[in-house]
Structure 1
Amino acid sequence: MHDRLTRRTFCAAGALALGGCAASGRSARADPKAAIGELASTGKLRAAINLGNPILASRSASGELRGVSVDLVSEAARRLGVPLELVPFNSAGTVVEAVKARQVDLAFVAIDPVRAADMDYTAPYVIIEGAYLVREASALRRNEDVDRAGTRVVVGRGSAYDLFLTREIKAATLVRAPTSPAVTDMFLAQNLDVAAGVRQQLEADARRVGGVRMLPGRFMVIEQAMGVPKGRTAAQAWLSGYIEEMKASGFVAQALVRHGIEGAAVAPARA
């Protein structure tokens, strides 16, 4: 799977020029007035910011929301000429519930077929990895070793990897933490066997707690996209063109560098 991600990343770099032309065409065809009507029907664009995924967003020392998702939605609101309200959440699961309840107009979420019942996506803008964390003394050495009877794997409730592992795990038992940042502490406190999550979060936790190690490689690729409540087709169309332009122009890559994000790749241009 690592080779596949690498190939996709190289393809993205090679397609920038063509992707930029295609994105410009899609943006021109999308109706910005209709998009504004769907994205800012309350008079402002309410954007869900998931603080449970450090790739997407975090708080600065002063408490200000920052990150790739904040940069993307701020630029989108500027282009549309609408006021922006950033609505922070601590987990992907609560973000999805807010989208379903139409309490927010836009969210940054991982693409998953279960979530597609309630929202429409753009193409992905960033690709990240789902990985496993175990204790130093664990007998587990490979990702393939995890799905065995008696192995307890803790995940963040409602996260992309929770949804993925719920479909894919056949023998191991899933245990759900309330949020993704709580996974490692629950893993240790309840003496569970494996912690599953975003690689960067788990690597930071490993440095914090000690006595643990990452399993090599990854068990899934997570495609992060912008999502809107189901049926808001004008908003989805405009955002789809916008996100392709942001990838092709280097905006997303620059945001990853600016916020010190490592291990994430800009998603390829949409074909």
Structure 2
Amino acid sequence: MTPRRPLLAAAALLPATARADAAVAAAIAPSGTLRAAINFGNPVLAQRGPDGAPRGVSAVLAAEVARRLGLPLRHVPFDAAGRVTEAGARGEWDLCFLAVDPQRAQGILFTAPYVVIEGAYMVRQDSPITRNEEVDRPGVRVAVGRGSAYDLFLTRELRHATIIRAPTSPASVAQFMAEGLEVAANVRQPLVAHAAANPGLRVLPGRFMAIEQAVGIPGGREAALPWLRAFVEEAKASGLVARALAESGQADAAVAPPG
């Protein structure tokens, strides 16, 4: 027991905030390294820089969490949100950036949202579909990325249309094109970009869902959640989220209101 006394005495001299942050760091990253899941399948949140390193609001928030907690940071890249969720069940990350969904919340503890983006539909110019409400009809096939927020949402909401799942969100747009499907569902920004490059396509006005993007940690790490929730609120209020979106070319994404 004697060797521990100096350590305990030194800990008692630390400021309360430093001790609290050390406890949060241990709770959020038990290995001593913060493993942050980065989903490149959502270009609003994450992009690859010229050197291949992650950039965008997810990377900025991950770096700031690691800095404040004094943790080394390791990015864990993914190409689809569904694969982030699956990897979380295997214990492969400590921090994620996903849309809040009841199914995901069974294994992930979420903060309040920090960004709100739109789920939108894309059709061909000659499609008879002109409104979001017209998609849920027999014979309409809707391409989605498997396990995405809009896949989970549409699985619950659509009663008549058929959902066609591709491995990733970008692959779902390619499948929509290649197989002549009636509708592609995705985050609005990549659909708008795709339609702009392909004059035979159009994005329906409005949105079929609001996609609330939040920071998440694995279930069982509740001790870190109050600190993380406060961090997200500060990141929104201070302008950190807005700056990260603007600097990565996503200024049209909306910062979420206070939680």
Query: Rg larger in 1 or in 2?
Result: 2
Within 5 Å, give how 1:55-74 maps onto structure 2. 55-74=44-63
Letter matched to residue 249 of structure 1: S
Which of these residues, 22, 32, 40, is aligned with residue 51 of structure 1? 40
SS in 2 for 1:263: coil
Instruction: Give every structure 1 segment of 4 or more consecutive aligned residues whose post-TM-superposition deviation is greater than 3 Å.
Output: none
Cα offset for 1:236?
Answer: 1.6
Unaligned runs of 5+ in 1: 1-27
1:221, CA displacement in angstroms?
A: 0.1
Write out per-residue CA displacement over residues 107-143 of structure 1, whole angstroms, 9 at most, x where no aligned residue. Answer: 0000000001011000000000000000011000000
Is the CA contact (8 Å cut-off) linking 2:35 and 2:75 kept in structure 1? Answer: yes
Q: Between the two structures, name the one with larger relative contact order (CA 8 Å, sep ≥ 6).
A: 1
Identity of aligned residues (%): 57
CA RMSD of aligned residues (A): 1.2
| 1:52 Cα offset (Å) | 0.3
| Aligned match of 2:257 | 268
What is the rounded CA distance, in whole Å, between the counterparts of 2:54 and 2:248 in structure 1? Answer: 12
1:85 aligns with 2:35: no
Q: Does 1:177 align with 2:166?
A: yes
Letter in 1 for 2:91: R
Shift of 1:31: 3.3
User: Is the contact made by 2:120 and 2:207 (CA closer than 8 Å) also made in structure 1?
Assistant: yes
Q: Which residue of 2 aligns with 1:116?
A: 105
Confirm or deny that 1:141 pairs with 2:130.
yes
| Corresponding position of 2:25 | 36
2:246, 2:229 → 1: CA distance? 23
In 1: Cα distance, 2:198 partner to 2:166 partner: 18
CA–CA separation in structure 2 for the residues paired with 1:245 and 1:147: 40
SS of the equivalent of 2:191 reads: helix
Unaligned runs of 5+ in 2: 1-16
Q: Which residue of 2 aligns with 1:167?
A: 156
CA drift of 1:181 comes to 1.2
The answer on whether the counterparts of 1:31 and 1:238 sit within 8 Å (CA) in structure 2 is no
TM-score normalised by structure 2 residue count:
0.91
Query: For 2:88 and 2:204, how far apart are their aligned partners in 1?
Result: 34
1:156 is the counterpart of 2:180:
no
The reply to whether residue 220 of structure 1 matches residue 209 of structure 2 is yes
Letter in 2 for 1:68: V
The answer (yes or no) to whether the contact 1:31–1:234 under 8 Å persists in 2 is: no
Give the secondary-structure state (helix, strand or coil) at the position aligned to 2:62: helix
> Match of 2:191?
202
Contact 2:242 2:251 in 1 (8 A): no
Alignment match, 1:236: 225
Identify the match of residue 249 of structure 1 among 224, 231, 238: 238
Q: How far apart, in 1, do the equivalents of 2:163 and 2:124 lie?
A: 17
Q: Which moved more, 1:36-45 or 1:163-172?
A: 36-45
Q: Deviations over 1:131-171 (max 9, x none)?
A: 00000110000000000011000100000000000000011
Match in the other structure for 2:117: 128
In 1, distance between residues paired with 2:20 and 2:182? 51
Q: CA deviation at 1:249?
A: 0.7
Q: Which amino acid in the other structure matches residue 257 of structure 1?
A: A
Count how many residue pairs are aligned between Structure 1 and Structure 2.
Answer: 242
Deviation at 1:204, TM superposition (A): 1.6
Matching residue's letter, 2:256:
A
1:31 match: secondary structure: helix
CA distance in 2, matches of 1:200, 1:262: 11
For the residues of structure 2 that align with 1:182 and 1:210, how far apart are their CA atoms?
A: 20
Q: C-alpha deviations, 1:151-207, integer Å up to 9, x for none?
A: 000100000000000000011000001101112110011110000010001112223
**Structure 2 SS opposite 1:46:** strand
Q: In the TM superposition, what is the alpha-carbon distance from 1:34 to its structure 2 partner? A: 2.3
